[in-house]
Amino acid sequence: MSVAPLPHVIPTLSQGAAGLQLEQVALSDIAAQFGSPTYVYSRAALTAAWHNWVSALEGRNALVCYAVKANSNLAVLNVFARLGAGFDIVSGGELARVLAAGGRADRVVFSGVGKSRAEMAQALRAGIHCFNLESAPELDRLEAVAAELGLQAAIAFRVNPAVDPKTHPYISTGLRDNKFGVAFEDALALYRKAAASKHLRISGIACHIGSQLLDPAPMAEAAAKVRGLVEQLEREGIHLDHIDLGGGLGIRYSDEVPPTGRDYLAPLLAAMAGRPEQLCFEPGRSLVGNAGLLLTRVEFLKPGATKNFAIVDAAMNDLARPALYDAYHEMLAVQPRDTPPVSYEIVGPICESGDFLGHERALSLAEGDLIAILSAGAYGMTMSSNYNTRGRCAEVMVDGDQLHLIRPRESIDSLFATERVLP
Protein backbone atom coordinates (compact mmCIF):
# COMPACT_ATOMS: atom_id res chain seq x y z
CA MET A 1 0.00 0.00 0.00
CA SER A 2 1.30 3.44 -0.91
CA VAL A 3 1.47 5.64 2.17
CA ALA A 4 1.99 9.40 2.26
CA PRO A 5 2.58 11.26 5.54
CA LEU A 6 0.22 14.09 6.39
CA PRO A 7 1.48 17.42 7.79
CA HIS A 8 -0.99 17.69 10.63
CA VAL A 9 -1.50 16.76 14.21
CA ILE A 10 -1.69 12.95 14.55
CA PRO A 11 1.77 11.54 13.87
CA THR A 12 0.62 8.04 12.91
CA LEU A 13 -2.10 9.17 10.46
CA SER A 14 -1.27 8.93 6.76
CA GLN A 15 -2.83 8.85 3.31
CA GLY A 16 -2.92 5.36 1.80
CA ALA A 17 -4.46 3.73 -1.23
CA ALA A 18 -7.73 3.18 0.67
CA GLY A 19 -7.82 6.72 2.07
CA LEU A 20 -6.75 7.83 5.52
CA GLN A 21 -5.14 5.20 7.70
CA LEU A 22 -3.99 5.13 11.32
CA GLU A 23 -0.75 3.21 11.64
CA GLN A 24 -1.36 0.37 9.14
CA VAL A 25 -5.17 0.23 9.29
CA ALA A 26 -7.55 2.07 6.94
CA LEU A 27 -10.14 4.17 8.76
CA SER A 28 -12.77 2.98 6.28
CA ASP A 29 -12.10 -0.60 7.40
CA ILE A 30 -12.59 0.43 11.03
CA ALA A 31 -15.95 2.04 10.20
CA ALA A 32 -17.00 -1.02 8.20
CA GLN A 33 -16.23 -3.28 11.16
CA PHE A 34 -17.35 -1.16 14.11
CA GLY A 35 -19.64 1.50 12.68
CA SER A 36 -19.67 5.18 13.54
CA PRO A 37 -19.23 7.36 15.45
CA THR A 38 -16.18 5.60 16.88
CA TYR A 39 -13.15 6.82 18.81
CA VAL A 40 -9.93 5.42 17.39
CA TYR A 41 -6.56 5.53 19.18
CA SER A 42 -3.01 4.75 18.09
CA ARG A 43 -0.86 2.74 20.47
CA ALA A 44 2.27 3.93 18.65
CA ALA A 45 1.26 7.57 19.13
CA LEU A 46 0.56 7.01 22.84
CA THR A 47 3.97 5.41 23.26
CA ALA A 48 5.77 8.15 21.32
CA ALA A 49 4.11 10.86 23.41
CA TRP A 50 5.18 9.07 26.58
CA HIS A 51 8.81 8.91 25.43
CA ASN A 52 8.65 12.63 24.61
CA TRP A 53 8.25 13.21 28.35
CA VAL A 54 10.54 10.59 29.84
CA SER A 55 13.43 11.30 27.46
CA ALA A 56 13.36 14.94 28.56
CA LEU A 57 13.68 13.76 32.19
CA GLU A 58 16.52 11.31 31.60
CA GLY A 59 19.02 11.42 34.43
CA ARG A 60 16.59 13.15 36.82
CA ASN A 61 14.79 11.55 39.75
CA ALA A 62 11.30 11.97 38.32
CA LEU A 63 7.86 10.36 38.32
CA VAL A 64 5.49 10.95 35.39
CA CYS A 65 1.85 10.45 36.45
CA TYR A 66 -0.63 10.30 33.58
CA ALA A 67 -3.72 12.45 34.28
CA VAL A 68 -6.49 9.87 34.02
CA LYS A 69 -9.26 12.41 33.44
CA ALA A 70 -7.95 13.05 29.91
CA ASN A 71 -8.81 9.54 28.73
CA SER A 72 -9.66 6.80 31.21
CA ASN A 73 -10.23 3.78 28.96
CA LEU A 74 -8.67 0.69 30.55
CA ALA A 75 -6.64 -0.10 27.42
CA VAL A 76 -5.15 3.41 27.37
CA LEU A 77 -4.31 3.16 31.07
CA ASN A 78 -2.80 -0.28 30.50
CA VAL A 79 -0.51 1.04 27.75
CA PHE A 80 0.88 3.61 30.19
CA ALA A 81 1.05 1.14 33.09
CA ARG A 82 3.18 -1.16 30.94
CA LEU A 83 5.46 1.78 30.18
CA GLY A 84 5.97 2.39 33.91
CA ALA A 85 3.70 5.38 34.39
CA GLY A 86 2.30 6.70 37.60
CA PHE A 87 -1.24 8.08 37.57
CA ASP A 88 -2.89 11.34 38.63
CA ILE A 89 -6.50 10.70 39.68
CA VAL A 90 -9.38 12.92 40.80
CA SER A 91 -11.92 10.35 42.02
CA GLY A 92 -12.30 6.95 43.61
CA GLY A 93 -13.67 5.69 40.31
CA GLU A 94 -10.46 6.68 38.56
CA LEU A 95 -8.43 4.86 41.22
CA ALA A 96 -10.48 1.71 40.60
CA ARG A 97 -9.83 2.06 36.86
CA VAL A 98 -6.08 2.44 37.36
CA LEU A 99 -5.88 -0.68 39.50
CA ALA A 100 -8.07 -2.66 37.08
CA ALA A 101 -5.74 -1.62 34.24
CA GLY A 102 -2.63 -2.87 36.03
CA GLY A 103 -1.43 0.42 37.51
CA ARG A 104 0.39 0.51 40.83
CA ALA A 105 -1.31 2.20 43.77
CA ASP A 106 2.03 3.38 45.15
CA ARG A 107 2.47 5.45 41.98
CA VAL A 108 -0.90 7.20 42.26
CA VAL A 109 -1.37 10.86 43.20
CA PHE A 110 -4.91 11.81 44.27
CA SER A 111 -5.80 15.39 43.28
CA GLY A 112 -9.14 17.25 43.27
CA VAL A 113 -10.99 19.67 45.50
CA GLY A 114 -13.89 17.50 46.70
CA LYS A 115 -12.63 14.13 47.89
CA SER A 116 -15.28 12.31 49.91
CA ARG A 117 -14.60 10.36 53.10
CA ALA A 118 -15.26 7.12 51.24
CA GLU A 119 -12.77 8.05 48.50
CA MET A 120 -10.14 8.95 51.07
CA ALA A 121 -10.62 5.63 52.85
CA GLN A 122 -10.47 3.75 49.54
CA ALA A 123 -7.18 5.43 48.61
CA LEU A 124 -5.66 4.94 52.06
CA ARG A 125 -6.46 1.23 52.04
CA ALA A 126 -5.00 0.94 48.54
CA GLY A 127 -1.75 2.56 49.69
CA ILE A 128 -1.49 5.43 47.20
CA HIS A 129 1.64 7.53 46.81
CA CYS A 130 0.20 10.87 47.95
CA PHE A 131 -2.90 13.00 48.44
CA ASN A 132 -2.73 16.48 46.91
CA LEU A 133 -4.75 18.54 49.39
CA GLU A 134 -6.50 21.72 48.27
CA SER A 135 -8.09 23.23 51.40
CA ALA A 136 -7.88 23.36 55.19
CA PRO A 137 -11.19 21.43 55.63
CA GLU A 138 -9.85 18.69 53.38
CA LEU A 139 -6.78 18.41 55.63
CA ASP A 140 -9.03 17.98 58.66
CA ARG A 141 -11.17 15.36 56.92
CA LEU A 142 -8.21 13.30 55.75
CA GLU A 143 -6.63 13.38 59.20
CA ALA A 144 -9.88 12.12 60.74
CA VAL A 145 -10.30 9.33 58.16
CA ALA A 146 -6.69 8.21 58.57
CA ALA A 147 -7.12 8.17 62.37
CA GLU A 148 -10.28 6.03 62.09
CA LEU A 149 -8.41 3.51 59.93
CA GLY A 150 -5.27 3.57 62.05
CA LEU A 151 -3.23 4.61 59.00
CA GLN A 152 -0.96 7.48 58.05
CA ALA A 153 -1.73 9.55 54.97
CA ALA A 154 1.07 10.89 52.77
CA ILE A 155 0.19 14.44 51.76
CA ALA A 156 1.20 17.43 49.68
CA PHE A 157 -0.54 20.77 49.49
CA ARG A 158 -1.43 22.08 46.07
CA VAL A 159 -0.40 25.71 46.29
CA ASN A 160 -1.92 28.41 44.13
CA PRO A 161 0.89 30.67 42.84
CA ALA A 162 -1.45 33.28 41.26
CA VAL A 163 0.30 32.98 37.90
CA ASP A 164 -1.64 33.63 34.68
CA PRO A 165 -1.20 30.55 32.43
CA LYS A 166 -2.43 32.42 29.33
CA THR A 167 -4.90 29.72 28.37
CA HIS A 168 -8.71 29.35 28.11
CA PRO A 169 -10.35 30.59 31.35
CA TYR A 170 -12.19 27.26 31.80
CA ILE A 171 -8.88 25.37 31.98
CA SER A 172 -6.95 27.92 34.04
CA THR A 173 -6.38 26.61 37.57
CA GLY A 174 -3.69 28.73 39.25
CA LEU A 175 -5.23 32.19 39.64
CA ARG A 176 -6.58 33.65 42.87
CA ASP A 177 -10.20 33.31 41.75
CA ASN A 178 -9.91 29.62 40.78
CA LYS A 179 -11.38 26.91 43.01
CA PHE A 180 -8.15 24.91 43.01
CA GLY A 181 -5.33 24.87 45.55
CA VAL A 182 -4.56 26.78 48.71
CA ALA A 183 -3.45 30.38 48.71
CA PHE A 184 0.31 30.71 48.62
CA GLU A 185 0.33 32.84 51.77
CA ASP A 186 -1.67 30.19 53.69
CA ALA A 187 0.54 27.24 52.79
CA LEU A 188 3.15 27.59 55.56
CA ALA A 189 0.54 27.50 58.35
CA LEU A 190 -1.10 24.43 56.79
CA TYR A 191 2.23 22.60 56.58
CA ARG A 192 2.92 23.41 60.23
CA LYS A 193 -0.49 22.01 61.19
CA ALA A 194 0.06 18.84 59.17
CA ALA A 195 3.53 18.35 60.64
CA ALA A 196 1.98 18.18 64.12
CA SER A 197 -0.34 15.27 63.24
CA LYS A 198 0.68 11.66 63.80
CA HIS A 199 -1.83 10.54 61.17
CA LEU A 200 -0.33 12.65 58.37
CA ARG A 201 3.07 12.42 56.73
CA ILE A 202 4.26 15.39 54.73
CA SER A 203 5.53 14.04 51.43
CA GLY A 204 5.60 16.93 48.99
CA ILE A 205 4.25 20.11 47.47
CA ALA A 206 2.20 20.46 44.29
CA CYS A 207 1.43 23.20 41.78
CA HIS A 208 -0.62 23.14 38.57
CA ILE A 209 -1.65 26.36 36.83
CA GLY A 210 -3.71 25.15 33.88
CA SER A 211 -4.01 23.11 30.72
CA GLN A 212 -3.14 23.57 27.02
CA LEU A 213 -0.02 25.60 27.92
CA LEU A 214 1.95 26.65 24.84
CA ASP A 215 4.51 28.85 26.60
CA PRO A 216 6.64 27.37 29.42
CA ALA A 217 7.32 30.79 30.94
CA PRO A 218 4.26 30.97 33.26
CA MET A 219 4.93 27.50 34.67
CA ALA A 220 8.62 28.35 35.10
CA GLU A 221 7.56 31.44 37.07
CA ALA A 222 5.32 29.27 39.23
CA ALA A 223 8.15 26.74 39.76
CA ALA A 224 10.46 29.49 41.00
CA LYS A 225 7.82 30.53 43.53
CA VAL A 226 7.35 26.93 44.63
CA ARG A 227 11.09 26.55 45.14
CA GLY A 228 11.09 29.58 47.41
CA LEU A 229 8.35 28.01 49.52
CA VAL A 230 10.21 24.67 49.63
CA GLU A 231 13.27 26.47 50.99
CA GLN A 232 11.14 28.28 53.54
CA LEU A 233 9.70 24.95 54.70
CA GLU A 234 13.21 23.54 54.92
CA ARG A 235 14.24 26.34 57.27
CA GLU A 236 11.31 25.31 59.48
CA GLY A 237 12.54 21.74 59.57
CA ILE A 238 9.88 20.47 57.15
CA HIS A 239 11.60 18.37 54.49
CA LEU A 240 9.86 17.07 51.37
CA ASP A 241 10.24 13.90 49.34
CA HIS A 242 8.88 15.30 46.09
CA ILE A 243 7.90 18.45 44.21
CA ASP A 244 4.91 18.09 41.88
CA LEU A 245 4.89 20.61 39.01
CA GLY A 246 1.70 19.38 37.35
CA GLY A 247 1.20 18.85 33.64
CA GLY A 248 -0.54 21.22 31.28
CA LEU A 249 1.68 20.97 28.20
CA GLY A 250 -0.45 21.87 25.19
CA ILE A 251 -0.88 20.15 21.84
CA ARG A 252 -1.48 21.26 18.28
CA TYR A 253 -5.15 21.40 17.30
CA SER A 254 -4.75 23.64 14.26
CA ASP A 255 -1.80 26.00 13.83
CA GLU A 256 -0.44 26.06 17.40
CA VAL A 257 3.26 25.36 17.84
CA PRO A 258 3.56 23.71 21.26
CA PRO A 259 7.01 23.20 22.76
CA THR A 260 8.52 19.74 22.82
CA GLY A 261 8.64 17.98 26.16
CA ARG A 262 12.31 18.88 26.41
CA ASP A 263 11.73 22.59 25.67
CA TYR A 264 8.77 22.77 28.06
CA LEU A 265 10.60 21.05 30.90
CA ALA A 266 13.99 22.76 30.52
CA PRO A 267 13.10 26.00 32.41
CA LEU A 268 11.23 24.00 35.07
CA LEU A 269 14.21 21.75 35.63
CA ALA A 270 16.46 24.80 35.74
CA ALA A 271 14.22 26.33 38.42
CA MET A 272 14.71 23.18 40.50
CA ALA A 273 18.43 22.76 39.85
CA GLY A 274 20.24 21.39 42.88
CA ARG A 275 17.09 20.33 44.73
CA PRO A 276 17.27 16.71 45.95
CA GLU A 277 13.53 16.02 45.88
CA GLN A 278 11.94 13.76 43.31
CA LEU A 279 10.17 15.78 40.62
CA CYS A 280 6.64 14.73 39.71
CA PHE A 281 4.69 15.70 36.59
CA GLU A 282 1.05 15.06 35.62
CA PRO A 283 0.62 15.27 31.83
CA GLY A 284 -2.70 14.29 30.30
CA ARG A 285 -3.63 16.03 27.06
CA SER A 286 -0.04 15.96 25.74
CA LEU A 287 0.05 12.16 26.10
CA VAL A 288 -3.29 11.26 24.53
CA GLY A 289 -4.72 14.25 22.66
CA ASN A 290 -3.01 13.66 19.33
CA ALA A 291 -3.13 9.88 19.67
CA GLY A 292 -6.84 9.70 18.91
CA LEU A 293 -9.55 10.75 16.49
CA LEU A 294 -13.32 10.56 16.24
CA LEU A 295 -14.63 8.82 13.14
CA THR A 296 -18.05 10.06 12.00
CA ARG A 297 -20.26 9.60 8.92
CA VAL A 298 -22.23 12.21 6.96
CA GLU A 299 -25.98 11.58 7.27
CA PHE A 300 -27.23 14.54 5.21
CA LEU A 301 -25.91 17.54 3.31
CA LYS A 302 -28.30 20.44 3.82
CA PRO A 303 -27.68 23.58 1.74
CA GLY A 304 -28.97 26.85 3.14
CA ALA A 305 -29.34 30.50 2.18
CA THR A 306 -26.37 31.61 4.29
CA LYS A 307 -24.76 28.35 5.47
CA ASN A 308 -24.36 24.81 4.27
CA PHE A 309 -24.73 22.06 6.85
CA ALA A 310 -23.11 18.65 6.94
CA ILE A 311 -25.18 16.69 9.44
CA VAL A 312 -23.07 13.84 10.83
CA ASP A 313 -23.78 10.96 13.20
CA ALA A 314 -21.46 12.29 15.92
CA ALA A 315 -22.75 15.06 18.17
CA MET A 316 -22.02 17.23 21.18
CA ASN A 317 -22.76 14.28 23.46
CA ASP A 318 -19.85 12.43 21.80
CA LEU A 319 -17.39 15.35 21.64
CA ALA A 320 -18.32 18.19 23.99
CA ARG A 321 -15.25 20.41 23.55
CA PRO A 322 -16.51 22.49 20.60
CA ALA A 323 -19.81 23.31 22.32
CA LEU A 324 -18.18 23.76 25.73
CA TYR A 325 -15.05 25.74 24.84
CA ASP A 326 -15.70 26.68 21.20
CA ALA A 327 -12.71 24.38 20.67
CA TYR A 328 -11.27 23.71 17.22
CA HIS A 329 -10.62 20.20 15.91
CA GLU A 330 -9.12 19.71 12.48
CA MET A 331 -11.27 17.58 10.16
CA LEU A 332 -10.33 15.51 7.12
CA ALA A 333 -12.40 13.53 4.64
CA VAL A 334 -11.39 9.89 5.05
CA GLN A 335 -11.62 9.24 1.29
CA PRO A 336 -10.99 12.53 -0.54
CA ARG A 337 -13.11 13.43 -3.57
CA ASP A 338 -12.10 15.31 -6.72
CA THR A 339 -15.06 17.69 -6.45
CA PRO A 340 -14.45 21.30 -5.32
CA PRO A 341 -14.65 21.77 -1.54
CA VAL A 342 -17.68 23.46 0.01
CA SER A 343 -17.77 25.38 3.29
CA TYR A 344 -19.85 23.42 5.78
CA GLU A 345 -21.07 23.77 9.32
CA ILE A 346 -20.37 20.31 10.77
CA VAL A 347 -23.30 19.60 13.08
CA GLY A 348 -24.85 16.63 14.85
CA PRO A 349 -28.40 15.35 15.37
CA ILE A 350 -28.76 16.61 18.97
CA CYS A 351 -31.74 18.91 19.52
CA GLU A 352 -29.63 21.95 20.46
CA SER A 353 -28.42 24.87 18.36
CA GLY A 354 -25.11 24.48 20.17
CA ASP A 355 -24.65 20.98 18.75
CA PHE A 356 -21.78 21.72 16.40
CA LEU A 357 -18.40 20.09 15.88
CA GLY A 358 -16.88 22.63 13.52
CA HIS A 359 -17.61 25.88 11.69
CA GLU A 360 -16.86 26.80 8.07
CA ARG A 361 -14.93 23.65 7.13
CA ALA A 362 -13.95 23.43 3.47
CA LEU A 363 -14.53 19.78 2.55
CA SER A 364 -15.53 17.77 -0.51
CA LEU A 365 -18.34 15.56 0.78
CA ALA A 366 -21.24 13.40 -0.23
CA GLU A 367 -23.84 11.68 1.94
CA GLY A 368 -22.34 8.57 3.51
CA ASP A 369 -18.77 9.88 3.51
CA LEU A 370 -16.57 9.47 6.57
CA ILE A 371 -14.89 12.38 8.36
CA ALA A 372 -11.96 12.05 10.77
CA ILE A 373 -12.16 14.59 13.61
CA LEU A 374 -8.58 14.89 14.81
CA SER A 375 -6.94 15.55 18.19
CA ALA A 376 -9.83 13.85 19.96
CA GLY A 377 -7.86 11.52 22.22
CA ALA A 378 -8.14 13.83 25.24
CA TYR A 379 -11.39 14.99 26.84
CA GLY A 380 -13.45 13.26 24.15
CA MET A 381 -14.89 10.00 25.41
CA THR A 382 -14.33 10.97 29.06
CA MET A 383 -16.65 13.99 28.68
CA SER A 384 -19.28 12.21 26.58
CA SER A 385 -22.85 11.67 27.75
CA ASN A 386 -26.12 9.97 26.86
CA TYR A 387 -28.00 13.20 26.10
CA ASN A 388 -31.01 12.57 23.83
CA THR A 389 -30.74 8.90 24.87
CA ARG A 390 -27.79 8.32 22.58
CA GLY A 391 -25.48 5.40 23.25
CA ARG A 392 -21.86 6.39 23.66
CA CYS A 393 -19.33 5.55 20.97
CA ALA A 394 -17.34 2.42 20.48
CA GLU A 395 -13.60 2.78 21.19
CA VAL A 396 -10.92 1.02 19.15
CA MET A 397 -7.14 0.76 19.60
CA VAL A 398 -4.91 0.38 16.54
CA ASP A 399 -1.65 -1.48 17.15
CA GLY A 400 0.32 -1.73 13.90
CA ASP A 401 -1.92 -3.71 11.58
CA GLN A 402 -4.06 -5.03 14.46
CA LEU A 403 -7.41 -3.70 15.69
CA HIS A 404 -8.67 -4.10 19.24
CA LEU A 405 -12.22 -3.21 20.32
CA ILE A 406 -11.54 -1.67 23.73
CA ARG A 407 -15.11 -0.58 24.45
CA PRO A 408 -18.21 -1.72 22.54
CA ARG A 409 -20.85 0.76 21.47
CA GLU A 410 -23.57 1.22 24.08
CA SER A 411 -26.90 -0.29 23.14
CA ILE A 412 -30.07 1.73 23.65
CA ASP A 413 -31.50 -0.93 25.97
CA SER A 414 -28.47 -0.61 28.25
CA LEU A 415 -29.15 3.10 28.75
CA PHE A 416 -32.33 2.48 30.74
CA ALA A 417 -31.70 -1.07 31.98
CA THR A 418 -31.30 0.16 35.57
CA GLU A 419 -34.34 2.49 35.51
CA ARG A 420 -37.82 1.57 36.79
CA VAL A 421 -41.33 2.70 35.91
CA LEU A 422 -43.68 3.49 38.76
CA PRO A 423 -45.91 0.68 40.12
345 annotated ligand-binding residue:
no
User: What does the longest C-alpha to C-alpha distance in the chain come to?
Assistant: 73
58 annotated ligand-binding residue:
no
352 annotated ligand-binding residue:
yes
**Residue of 292, 223, 388, 260 lying closest to 45 (CA atoms):** 292
Residue 363 to residue 312: CA distance in whole angstroms? 13
Residue 387 C-beta-side C-alpha neighbours within 13 Å: 16
Active site residues: 351
393: burial class by Cβ within 10 Å (0-12, 13-18, 19+)? buried
Residue 315 to residue 310: CA distance in whole angstroms? 12
User: Domain spans of the chain?
Assistant: 4-42+289-415, 111-283
Mind listing the pLDDT tens digit of every residue in the chain (423 residues)? 345 555 567 999 999 888 999 999 999 999 999 999 999 999 999 999 999 999 999 999 999 999 999 999 999 999 999 999 999 999 999 999 999 999 999 999 999 999 999 999 999 999 999 999 999 999 999 999 999 999 999 999 999 887 765 544 544 444 455 667 898 889 999 999 999 999 999 999 999 888 888 888 888 888 999 999 999 999 999 999 999 999 889 999 988 888 888 999 999 999 999 999 999 999 999 999 999 999 999 999 999 889 999 999 999 999 999 999 899 999 999 998 999 999 999 999 999 989 999 999 999 999 999 999 999 999 999 999 999 999 999 999 999 999 999 999 999 999 999 999 999
Same fold, 4-42+289-415 and 111-283: no
284 annotated ligand-binding residue:
yes
Residue 212 to residue 185: CA distance in whole angstroms? 27
Collapse the DSSP code of 3 into the 3-class scheme (helix H, G, I; strand E, B; otherwise coil) and give the result: coil
- Superfamily of domain 4-42+289-415 in the CATH hierarchy: Lyase, Ornithine Decarboxylase; Chain A, domain 1 (2.40.37.10)
For the chain, the first-to-last Cα distance in angstroms comes to: 61
Under 8 Å between Cβ of 37 and 55: no
Cβ atoms within 10 Å, residue 395: 24
**Residue of 383, 378, 341, 382 lying closest to 360 (CA atoms):** 341
Under 8 Å between Cβ of 223 and 272: yes
Architecture of the 111-283 domain: Alpha-Beta Barrel (3.20)
**Residue of 252, 263, 244 lying closest to 87 (CA atoms):** 244
Residue 222 to residue 207: CA distance in whole angstroms? 8
Output the CA torsion sign for 134, 140, 146, 149: negative
